[in-house]
């Protein structure tokens, strides 16, 4: 308790850097490849009888002969609007590189890296184990300006452990809203109980999305994380068609989040948006599009993929996009060095006028590419 009081006093008296945004929304999407974002539909998978039961519908909606014509079709808001108004990184065909720095290339280590700004080698599985690291949401709770002003929403049921909710106190919605603020939230609770999920550990992204929108409207927190998950699970199921359709739905969700932010006085023109993914996926051999794991992961944790002795090549490759106050309108860029997901947490802090070193000096510094 004494150390916490000292930190609070330090935050109160120390000078702060210029604030670019009053609020930040971080959106993560589990496992959408950079290939679909920048190249568009993969015809080999879209026309493959084992991967696309809805092949004709998929090709009609998303296939065009040129990369230029098709690459904005699956995620038109992220690729089109965010590139036009902000910064986009990760198109490896154009020499633009972003990557995970953890040694595993699957979800829990990836989300920890994004949210805490550090890698921790002991986070070596997706088990429901409380996170030893503190996320950016938890760190900012030490500051009276942010205390009680953070919220997280996830489709995956491991997020309460990633946020170590017993220690952090961060409200993480992965199920029903226990204290509904509105008739709409009560309706969502009823609907979620009445609709069967596809997977036992992942709820439908639509529920994650609408609970988040309701909280934005009703409570207006300053720091929000929304974590969509369906694309990854459809990919693991080998359903490329459903993976693509889920990716398109998530893009629409992100657009609705942005429109909601701009419709509310608390957020309008003073909220920065950051969108990224927790890992990449394979490309060759063809079937590796379903998977993601490092060489070390297939040796120790994901032994079902042990036939891929070097792991799933490309599963460290991610992409990042941002827009809003404090984000330069540079469009799609190719950084001089490959950007690491460890820089995301400090970048969010920088937008909010906070120096990451006052919270955790072990965090990676902000990424200059996303700063004015």
Q: What is the CATH number of the domain that holds 206?
A: 3.40.720.10
Q: What is the C-alpha separation between 79 and 121, in angstroms, rounded?
A: 33
Q: Tell the residue number behind the tokens 């971080």, with chain if given.
A: 26
How far is the CA of 335 from the CAs of 281, 330, 372, in angstroms? 22, 11, 15
Domain limits for position 100: 24-370
Do the Cβ atoms of 235 and 283 come closer than 8 Å? no
- Kindly state the average pLDDT of the residues 308-318: 98
What pLDDT score was predicted for residue 78? 98
The backbone torsions φ and ψ at residue 280, rounded to the nearest 5 degrees and listed phi first, read -100, -160
Tell me: the pLDDT tens digits for 56-79?
A: 999 999 999 999 999 999 999 999
Is residue 93 pLDDT above 70, yes or no?
A: yes
- Kindly state the average pLDDT of the residues 171-176: 96
Question: Would 11 be classed as within a structural domain?
Answer: no
How far is the CA of 37 from the CAs of 73, 78, 198, 242, in angstroms? 9, 8, 24, 15
Question: Would 7 be classed as within a structural domain?
Answer: no
- Kindly state the average pLDDT of the residues 173-191: 94
Tell me: the pLDDT tens digits for 225-261?
A: 999 999 999 999 999 999 999 999 999 999 999 999 9
**Which tokens is 348 given?**
């969010």
**Whole-model pTM above 0.85?**
yes
Question: Would 14 be classed as within a structural domain?
Answer: no
Question: Would 126 be classed as within a structural domain?
Answer: yes
Question: Would 89 be classed as within a structural domain?
Answer: yes
How far is the CA of 371 from the CAs of 4, 6, 56, in angstroms? 30, 30, 43
Query: What does DSSP say about strands 331-332 and 150-154: parallel, antiparallel, or unpaired?
Result: unpaired
Question: Would 289 be classed as within a structural domain?
Answer: yes
Is residue 298 pLDDT above 60, yes or no?
A: yes
Q: Give the total number of structural domains in the chain.
A: 1
What pLDDT score was predicted for residue 181? 85
Question: Would 143 be classed as within a structural domain?
Answer: yes
What pLDDT score was predicted for residue 18? 85
For 312-354, give the DSSP string: -TTTTB--EEEESTT----EE---SS-EEGGGHHHHHHHHTT-
- Kindly state the average pLDDT of the residues 183-188: 96
Do the Cβ atoms of 205 and 246 come closer than 8 Å? yes
What pLDDT score was predicted for residue 195? 96
Q: What is the C-alpha separation between 116 and 228, in angstroms, rounded?
A: 19
Q: What is the C-alpha separation between 38 and 97, in angstroms, rounded?
A: 12
Question: Would 159 be classed as within a structural domain?
Answer: yes
User: Band of the pLDDT at 127, cuts 50, 70, 90?
Assistant: very high
CA dihedral 25, 30, 31, 35 (to 10 degrees): -40
């Amino acid at each position: 308790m004494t150390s916490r009081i000292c930190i609070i006093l330090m935050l109160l008296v120390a000078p702060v850097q210029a604030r670019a945004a009053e609020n930040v929304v971080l959106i993560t999407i589990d496992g959408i490849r950079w290939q679909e974002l920048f190249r568009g539909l993969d015809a080999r998978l879209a026309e493959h009888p084992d991967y696309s039961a809805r092949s004709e519908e998929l090709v009609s909606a998303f296939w065009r002969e040129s990369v230029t014509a098709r690459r904005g079709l699956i995620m038109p808001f992220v690729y089109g609007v965010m590139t036009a108004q902000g910064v986009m990184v990760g198109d490896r065909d154009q020499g633009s590189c972003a990557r995970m720095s953890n040694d595993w290339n699957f979800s829990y280590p990836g989300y920890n890296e994004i949210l805490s700004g550090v890698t921790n080698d002991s986070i070596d599985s997706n088990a429901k184990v409380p996170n030893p690291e503190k996320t950016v949401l938890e760190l900012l709770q030490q500051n009276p300006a942010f205390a009680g002003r953070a919220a997280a929403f996830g489709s995956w049921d491991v997020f309460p452990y990633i946020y170590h909710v017993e220690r952090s106190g961060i409200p993480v919605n992965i199920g029903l809203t226990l204290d509904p603020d509105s008739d709409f939230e009560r309706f969502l609770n009823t609907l979620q109980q009445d609709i069967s999920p596809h997977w036992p550990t992942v709820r439908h992204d639509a529920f994650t999305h609408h609970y988040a929108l309701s909280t934005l409207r009703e409570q207006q927190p300053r720091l929000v994380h929304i974590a969509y998950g369906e694309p990854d699970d459809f990919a693991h199921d080998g359903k490329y068609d459903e993976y693509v359709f889920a990716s398109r739905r998530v893009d629409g969700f992100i657009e609705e989040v942005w429109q909601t932010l701009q419709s509310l006085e608390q957020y309008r023109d003073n909220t920065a948006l950051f969108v990224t993914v927790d890992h990449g996926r394979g490309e060759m051999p063809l079937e590796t599009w379903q998977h993601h794991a490092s060489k070390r992961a297939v040796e120790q944790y994901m032994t079902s993929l042990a036939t891929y002795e070097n792991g799933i090549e490309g599963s460290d490759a991610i992409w990042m996009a941002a827009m809003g106050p404090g984000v330069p309108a540079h469009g799609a860029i190719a950084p001089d060095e490959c950007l690491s997901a460890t820089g995301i947490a400090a970048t969010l802090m920088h937008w909010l006028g906070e120096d990451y070193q006052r919270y955790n000096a072990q965090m990676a510094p902000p990424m200059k590419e996303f700063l004015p």
